[in-house]
Each structure stands twice: as structure tokens, then as C-alpha cells.
Amino acid sequence: MKRVISASRRTDLVAFFPDWLSHVLQAERARVYGPSGRTYEVDLSPDTVHTFVLWSKDFSNLIQNQHNLKELLQKYDQLYFHFSITGLGGSFVEPGVPRPAGAFPQLEQLIKMAGMPERVSLRFDPVVFWKEGKKIETNLHFFETLAPKAKSVGIKNIRFSFAQWYGKALRRASKHDFHFIDPSREDKKERARYLAQIAASFGLSLYACSQSFLDEVPGVKPSSCIAGRLLEKLHPQQEPASRIKDKSQRKECLCTESIDIGSYTQPCPHCCLYCYANPRI
């Protein structure tokens, strides 16, 4: 069975390591430094790859064919894109991320490259709350701008989650005097109801990523961000893909098996304050 390649949950390869990504695509082999310190080789020859899944907050290097990325990826049967637009780009929360006005034009280019809007997943991820003085700030209401934009280009699915403050992110928030707020589960459900109502008004499906308590909210479905069943359906030849849960992901993650070629040794300069990975901040 052909394998799904993920590039990458661990860092933004497209935005900041396009030269490395180009090199491994050309060589059709990647040497990867895994989270546990184990090094492994990944075969990237097209006849072994079911789908190439790319994750980014800025696909401009790919769209502009920097380092021949666009040409090199065309040899694969299927491309699937996860594109994060939170409304926080250019702010102190996501200082290295493009502002929404710069991100939105990339959507149509990605759909064209993927061949259909179903192969582009728009991520409103994460939703963040914080305090400035006595005022509570959030990007939650940016969804009112994001949803109609998604509909206008034919995207049907949006994935979201509320920020999860892991130890690394907690230390970073303290260092930068960022007074984040982590609402209660009931508060999050109420916010999710608001998002679901907006999504429904634009005919969009809303998926919650790795937060199973949100399954109780009408209009919110559990997300499998890499889903073998879906990738089979979208594949030009309906090639079978693994439907086995990816055991390397969090317990609540419903993703099916894939091989990630990114590394935490490639620190991401987006510098998002909430990041669980290893940003340059």
C-alpha cells in the first residue's frame, strides 16, 4: 500500500525550509530527525506515495515555484493542503505569519494546484483568548470574515481547535508577559456553538481537532486531519490508503497513518506564542 507523506506538523517546511524540501523531493528520499532523537529514512519516490500532505501558514514559496517546489510536487498523484489562517497573522501572537489580506489570495492558487477545493483544508486553528489590561481579546470573531471567504472559493470544510497550553508554550507566554486565558470546557462549547452557527449559515462543515468534548456541540464534527478514507475518495485512481489510527499522534487525534518528514531541529520563525513545536522565540 502506498504511504501518505506529511510535510509537516513539526515545522513549516514550505514557508521556511523550501530549499531543504526541494532537495529531498529531487532526491526522492529524506533523512529525518524524529522527536525521540531517532533518525529515519523516508522513500519519496512517486510510486510509493499515495498523497503528499502539506501544512503551512504561508504557501507563497510553493505558489511562486521557489526552488522548483511546484514543479517537483507535480510528479505526485495527489496533493492535499492544510492552510492555517487564524486572523492573528502579523500580530504579537503570530509575528512571523502573513496578515490575512496577504494569505487569502493564496487560497485560489492552492485549489488550482490541488485540482479541487476538497483537497484544501482551511484551518482556523487555534482560537486564542488573552487579557490586555482589563479587556479580554480573542481571534474568535475573525471567523465571521473567514467563513464567507471560504465559501466564495469553494472550500467546504474548516477545522478548528482552542489553544492548548503545553509546558513549552506556558514558559514562552510567561517570558513574553502574555496573559493568555484558557476558558472552561463549557465556555469553549458555547464559543463552538457560535462558530457552528456561522459555518452552517455558509454551508460549511466544521471539524474540531483533537478536542473530543466538542463533539457534543451540534454542527461540530470530530476531525481526522489526515483521513485515509477521504484521501482514497479524492485520489485520481481511488488508490487505497491506510485507515489505521496514527499511534504517533495524541490520544484524541483521529488521524490515520502518515510519515512526517519535518523535524523539530528545523525551528519555525513564525514564532507563534502558543506553538507546541520549537519556534525561534
Domain CATH number, residue 159? 3.80.30.10
Domain presence at residue 266: no
Domain residues for 18?
3-260
Q: First-to-last CA distance in the chain?
A: 40
**Number of domains forming the structure of the chain:** 1
Judge contact between 205 and 221, C-beta under 8 A. Answer: yes
In this structure, the number of other CB atoms found within 10 A of the CB of residue 65 comes to 14
Domain presence at residue 214: yes
Domain presence at residue 279: no
* CA pair distance 108, 89, nearest whole angstrom: 19
Domain presence at residue 280: no
Domain presence at residue 274: no
Beta bridge partners of 160: 124, 208
Pick from 7, 17, 180, 10: nearest CA to 79: 7
Non-local (6+) Cβ contacts of 134 within 8 A are none
Domain presence at residue 18: yes
Domain presence at residue 241: yes
Per-residue pLDDT of the chain in tens (281 residues, 90 and over written 9): 999 999 999 999 999 999 999 999 999 999 999 888 889 999 999 999 999 999 999 999 999 999 999 999 999 999 999 999 999 999 999 999 999 999 999 999 999 999 999 999 999 999 999 999 999 999 999 999 999 999 999 999 999 999 999 999 999 999 999 999 999 999 999 999 999 999 999 999 999 999 999 999 999 999 999 999 999 999 999 999 999 999 989 889 999 999 999 999 999 999 999 998 878 87
Q: What is the dihedral of CA 210, 215, 219, 224, to 10 degrees?
A: 40
Domain presence at residue 272: no
